[in-house]
Amino acid sequence: MEEVLDKETRRETCNSHLGALEDTLYAIGGKWKLKVISTMRDTGTTRFNELLRHIPGISAKVLSNELKELELNGLVMRTVYTETPVVIEYQLTEYSETLHNVLVSMIEWGRQHKARIRAERS
């Protein structure tokens, strides 16, 4: 009986974790979103074309789409200044700071993973 309960608890924990991972991956998963956020944090740029230059391999179409989705999830704020010519600025929201631990842990892991692969090869 205890074992059955234990199995159920573990299953519930597992499902809860899978649900949370799903929500995270839905909002910031894929190839580009974390890179866009990281680049905005590091360079402080607010301009589309600068972002485009900073992120190797991203296309204008994809960047535009990623920024829209980040905006929908409250991570990026888009401001249009109706001057001539119109100026559009993208800024990280305060909410995006909640991603700090995710970014740091992923950057740290990538670094040690690359070091590990290099050590294996030599």
**Under 8 Å CB-to-CB from 106, ≥6 apart: which residues?**
34
Note whether 71 and 77 are within 8 A (CB): yes
Q: How far is the CB of 79 from a second copy (least distance, A)?
A: 21
- Give me the phi and psi of 97, to 5 degrees please: -65, -20
Interatomic CA distance for residues 90 and 47, integer angstroms = 6
Q: How far is the CB of 54 from a second copy (least distance, A)?
A: 6
Reduced to 3 states (helix: H, G, I; strand: E, B; else coil), residue 43 is: helix
- Our CB check for a second copy shows the closer of 26 and 64 to be 26
What is the binding site for a second copy (CB under 8 A)? 10-11, 13-14, 17-25, 27-31, 34-35, 38-39, 42-44, 54-56, 73-74, 95, 98-99, 101-114, 116
Q: How far is the CB of 45 from a second copy (least distance, A)?
A: 9
CB count within 10 Å of CB 36 equals: 24
Q: How far is the CB of 52 from a second copy (least distance, A)?
A: 13
- Our CB check for a second copy shows the closer of 81 and 121 to be 121
